[in-house]
Amino acid sequence: MVAIRCTRKLLQRVGPPVAECAPWTTRLGDWYARPVAVGHQRYVLLIGEHSRLPAVMPGRDGKHLARNFPDALARVLASLGIDASAAEREVEATGEALIAKTESRSLLGTLTDFSFPLIWQLQDEPAADLVEAAIKLSRTPVRALGPAGSPDGVTRDLLA
């Protein structure tokens, strides 16, 4: 079980959050999500709580965010070269996802920081692959992860 913790703006499209969430059962923790607009295109940017690994999804089907998230995560983990069995366990644990409110201002800050380069990349390359966009973001050093900590490296460590 995992919670997808959405910003207020995203909750307006996804639907109401649950009152309380059970503890997560994934190594990457809960996922934080916000909408990102590039022209008329809508996307959802998500980051993992413990690794800040990004995933980018089309935003046109907000009501099914929880159902579509495991596929997006599977593609990102495969592109990172994560061991197939570890990736499968993580994706399987996200199969039961609940929509909840955000709880961490630090994670919201990382979402905001990641949204700017994502917007620029998608403006420059409208046909860009969303998995490749997430992988580019995953190489960004994040201060909250410690010195020289980047989401891709921390994810590899957590799923090793």
Residue pair 3/25 in contact (Cβ under 8 Å)? The answer is: no
Where helices occur in 15-160 by DSSP H, the ranges are 65-80, 84-93, 105-124, 130-138, 151-158
How many C-beta neighbours within 10 Å does residue 41 have?
13
Q: Which domains does the chain have, with CATH numbers?
A: 2-155 (3.30.420)
CA distances to 95, 133, 143 from 140, rounded to whole Å, are 27, 12, 10
Q: What is the mean pLDDT for each group of 10 consecutive residues in the chain (160 residues)?
A: 93 86 82 95 95 94 90 97 95 92 94 96 91 96 80 93
CA distances to 38, 78, 84 from 75, rounded to whole Å, are 22, 5, 11
Residue pair 111/34 in contact (Cβ under 8 Å)? The answer is: yes
Q: Report the pLDDT value the prediction gives residue 148, as an integer from 0 to 100.
A: 63
Cα–Cα distance between 30 and 26 in angstroms, integer? 8
Q: Which amino acid belongs to residue 109?
A: G
